[in-house]
Amino acid sequence: MKIIATTFLLFLIVLLNTSFNAMRKVAFPVLNRQSSIVNSSLPIDSFPQNYFATPLDISPLIIVGNFGEPRRLHFHTGLDFRTNQEEGHAVFAAADGYISRINVSGAGYGNALYITHTNGYVTTYGHLQKFNTQLMARLRKEQYAKENFAVDFNLLPNEIAVNKGDTIALSGNTGGSGGPHLHFEIRDSVERIYNPLLFGFKLKDDMKPLVSFLKFYALDDLKNKSDGYRTKVFGKLGLYEVTGGIVKLNSTQVGISVNTFDVINLSDAHVGIYNITVFDGSKMIYEYKMDRIAFSDKRDVLSHTDYPIFVNEAHRTFHKCFVEPGNHCPVYCSLENSGVINLSNGKAHEVHLEISDYAGNVALVKFKLQYDKASTLFKEKELKFTTRFDYDHENEFSNSDIKMKLPVGCLFDNVFFNFSSALSTEPNIFSKIYQLDNSNIQVFDWFDLSIKTKNLNPALADKAIVIYKDGTGATTSRGGKFENGFINTKAREFGTYYVKLDTTLPQIKILNVVPDRNMRLYKKILIKITDNLSGITDFDTYVDGKWVVTDYDAKFSMLTHTLDQNLSVGKHTFKVVVTDERNNRAEVEMKFTM
């Protein structure tokens, strides 16, 4: 019997692989943010094939990040192309068009270019080391006009035209990049981002996705009273099952998540999954497909994944195969009862998951699910809460010390909200310490938060800030404005909050200049800038009293000023001024020789 079952499963996998490309040619539906009604969208065949050329001089083209894969606070919006751990590879215009936008920042995409093409699509190139000579001149003109390193500006269609294959930049590691690579996107005219693989980009990939775990969630009366049940899956050749073949659960309404990732040829990277479908018997009850997403939907990743696992287990991704009511991300193509499996009939349900990459390689997970009142897999815990927040209503919570106001759209599901506060024994905390439930509860959008101060000197009120501390102990400034004894701010996380003062100046350290050193051979001045609390908001650099452009990389807290080799021979003055969010201002000046 085992031989027959295995043979059947292998046949099924082959059938799925051969038919997958044909299945992709149907229209992919999307959900809008206002409702859970499935809408149709563009058919796959409508995307121009082979219109866009490869943007790199590297062959074969290999990705280290996939479109739509879950990241810390967003779905990834492009492909990350490998640049062999190096910077400086030529980056080419993918098609004819014009440079429509230049965006330079110390974080995010770093040095980024946008090309609007004659067919209406826009390609984006991020984390660049530097632009070509013409684009660098245009960038510097804008930076000097605004006396600011960080600029984001649009160009006119007749300003800088490019042809397919033109070198527009060199690849780099700027902004929020975790290592040298090229981030590449394709958008439409209304800023929806599409999977570049839809446009004919080819990657060598004959490897099936890998699956490690399943997790089950009680979604009936045990919802919010159980942490769920996780089990390992076993298998090979893309066929997986659970021990014993059946999972018996003490819940009649059940959701599933799957820990899975894709692997591709010539790369050791674990990248995101393209497509997940769930079948209850012969009926498809859930389908997730990463063809398109909007920037307004990126934070839905907090609901799509089991986020507590993601943040506490080194970004291990469990894709939920059911959709919470406040999650309206347009990646769910087919839903029956929001993906929830109804086990109330007491029968064993034949469930299988098909997990696919874009090349059509499929992994199959097959098992049975059955309701069993005697099961103890969902371990019930007492539900204690202060108040309930409803996901589809505006919610408020307040007492004499704190005020919260959450607009509609903040929550993915109803929250049984716990609140507590405690006096602080630390002399540098100027409020109670407030526990707004815990950081495992995910919030989609910003909400209003007001915290009453304690023992705060009114003369220092403009230095007071709200501090957020998450479950790992990491702290972030949430700023705020003092008014009538409260600090008013915006927040979008639950967790620990309190008030501190930031009266400390930012720190500036010039790394490679000593008094009167001749810098002509060094060519660059390197400066480390840091801040202890509220965060750096502005910096300026000057040579001989004149403002000069200096590049900033936030992940390394590093400023790099490239010296003008036309500076006259002799002594010069270099000055750095750094300001933090509470307007603490530091300044360092040093002499150097050219």
Q: Alpha carbon of 119 to those of 97, 109, 115, 164: distances in Å?
A: 9, 24, 11, 13
Q: Which CATH fold topology does 205-371 show?
A: Coagulation Factor XIII; Chain A, domain 1 (2.70.50)
Annotate 320-389 with three-state secondary structure: ECCCCCCCCCCCEEEECHHHCEECCCCCCEEEEEEEECCCCCEEEEEEEEEECCCCCCCCCCCCCCCEEE
Sites in the chain below the pLDDT cut of 50: 1-41
pLDDT tens digits for range 88-102? 999 999 999 999 999
Return residue ranges of the chain for CATH 2.70.70.10: 47-199
pLDDT value, residue 43? 54
Task: Find all residues with CB under 8 Å of 177, minimum gap 6, and list them.
Answer: 110, 126, 127, 183, 555
Which candidate, 38, 148, 163, places its Cα nearest to that of 99? Answer: 163
pLDDT value, residue 436? 97
| Angle CA 459–447–401, to nearest 5 | 50
Return residue ranges of the chain for CATH 2.60.220.30: 387-500
CA 154 – CA 406 distance, rounded (Å): 35
Architecture label for domain 47-199: Distorted Sandwich (2.70)
Return residue ranges of the chain for CATH 2.70.50: 205-371
CATH number, domain 387-500: 2.60.220.30
Give burial (CB, 10 Å; 0-12/13-18/19+) of 389: buried
CATH of 507-593, one of 3.20.20.70, 2.40.40.20, 2.60.40.10, 1.10.760.10: 2.60.40.10
| Angle CA 183–189–190, to nearest 5 | 95
Sheet strands (E) in 59-106: 63-65, 79-82, 90-92, 97-104
pLDDT value, residue 90? 98
- SS3 state at 412: coil
Enclosing H/E stretch for 460: none
pLDDT value, residue 22? 36
CA 184 – CA 122 distance, rounded (Å): 11
Q: Alpha carbon of 126 to those of 53, 170, 180, 362, 502: distances in Å?
A: 17, 10, 11, 31, 34
Displacement of CA 285 from its chain's centroid (Å): 27
DSSP letters, 530-588, are E-SSS-EEEEEEEETTEEE--EEEGGGTEEEEE--TTSPSSEEEEEEEEEETT--EEEE
Which candidate, 233, 234, 187, 191, places its Cα nearest to that of 214? Answer: 233
pLDDT value, residue 71? 94
pLDDT value, residue 246? 98
pLDDT value, residue 45? 53
Return residue ranges of the chain for CATH 2.60.40.10: 507-593
Residue type, 329: C
CA 190 – CA 499 distance, rounded (Å): 40
- SS3 state at 145: helix
